[in-house]
């Protein structure tokens, strides 16, 4: 049974999601549908997609192919961040997503706060709210993605419907940088969704200061669970035990099945959770770092600069 987190609008979002977009799945219709089918059959009940990934249609097809009850699957999608803030432009984009999915998503996010010069993000949000009030998005939760404190404040100043989540790169090595943002989110009951939760293991060149800690905890869990547990499993547990939705992905069937099994592993102890958090805060490493560092300076901590600029 996948754990859930209660959102401010009363809905419960599954805390572990399979992402249908990265790991070579973007715009690969047949592959993303096949992997979606594998994920659903394995037991995932939350799929994360986006217009920008080109996988909304494949996500809808996978759900229909498996024959799952639509009410039993949580679907998160994201609309383009490069739209005009006019209601008609946003309606057209939303309708494109609904047509691709062939149903309403449970959660609709603004993918990035990059609104063109003809409008501001607050106006964009207001236009999105209008689609809820007029019925086009009735019953759909609204959220944001990649929003810095100033972006979130701009929306909160005008919001009649508060964003229920902010999806962003989240793992122990960005905690110090995110501290003011996470504080603001807590004040408004905005849940964090984590993409890139495995960055300290999969993308950092050598794992950083957390590597021996994660390996030690994985060894303990392996003995308790009676099966192999690795450092990535520990990071997923740390994420969901901190009431953060973990969005991760794979296109390998064996790995997809292993991911869903993480939720059934023994919990980390409070001491282990705290140790990962505190050590993570002593170091800074962000993989997707384009706009998140603009007018939101990262902390002055030890780091290894990313060799590639990534845009989420």
77, 109 contact by CB (below 8 A)? yes
Q: Hunting for tokens 């799952």 — which residue is that?
A: 68
Number of other residues whose CB lies within 10 A of the CB of residue 73: 19
Q: Is 53 a catalytic residue?
A: yes
- Choosing from 53, 173, 283, 285, the catalytic residue is 53
**Coil, helix or strand at residue 112:** coil
142, 106 contact by CB (below 8 A)? no
Burial (CB count within 10 angstroms: exposed 0-12, middle 13-18, buried 19+), residue 176: middle
**Coil, helix or strand at residue 30:** helix
Q: Alpha-carbon distance 242 to 236, whole Å?
A: 10
Using alpha carbons, list the distances in angstroms from residue 228 to 103, 109, 162, 186. 39, 36, 41, 35
Angle 87-101/56-66 helices, nearest 10 degrees?
30
Q: Alpha-carbon distance 209 to 67, whole Å?
A: 45
Contacts of 66 (CB under 8 A, 6+ apart): 37, 40, 41
Q: Hunting for tokens 């993918």 — which residue is that?
A: 111
Name the residues annotated as catalytic. 53
């Amino acid at each position: 049974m996948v754990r859930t987190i209660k959102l401010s609008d009363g809905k419960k979002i599954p805390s572990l999601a399979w992402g249908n977009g990265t790991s070579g799945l973007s715009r690969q219709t047949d592959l993303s549908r096949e992997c979606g089918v594998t994920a659903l059959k394995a037991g995932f009940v939350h799929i994360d997609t986006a217009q920008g990934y080109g996988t909304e249609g494949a996500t809808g097809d996978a759900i229909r192919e498996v024959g799952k009850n639509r009410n039993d699957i949580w679907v998160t999608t994201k609309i383009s961040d490069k739209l005009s803030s006019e209601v008609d432009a946003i309606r057209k984009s939303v309708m494109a997503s609904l047509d691709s999915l062939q149903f309403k998503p449970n959660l609709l996010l603004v993918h990035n706060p990059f609104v063109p010069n003809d409008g501001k993000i607050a106006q964009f949000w207001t236009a999105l709210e209008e689609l809820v009030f007029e019925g086009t998005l009735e019953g759909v939760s609204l959220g944001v993605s990649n929003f810095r404190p100033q972006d979130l404040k701009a929306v909160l100043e005008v919001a009649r419907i508060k964003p229920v989540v902010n999806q962003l790169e989240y793992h122990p090595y960005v905690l110090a940088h995110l501290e003011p943002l996470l504080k603001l989110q807590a004040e408004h009951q905005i849940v964090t969704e984590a993409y890139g939760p495995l960055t300290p293991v999969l993308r950092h060149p050598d794992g950083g200061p957390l590597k021996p800690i994660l390996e030690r905890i994985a060894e303990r869990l392996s003995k308790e669970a009676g099966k192999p547990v690795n450092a990535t499993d520990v990071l997923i547990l740390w994420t969901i035990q901190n009431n953060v939705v973990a969005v991760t992905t794979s296109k390998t069937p064996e790995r997809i099945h292993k991911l869903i099994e993480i939720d059934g592993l023994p919990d980390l102890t409070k001491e282990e959770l705290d140790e990962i958090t505190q050590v993570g805060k002593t170091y800074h490493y962000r993989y997707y770092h384009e706009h998140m560092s603009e007018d939101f300076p990262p902390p002055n901590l030890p780091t290894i600069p990313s060799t590639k600029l990534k845009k989420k």
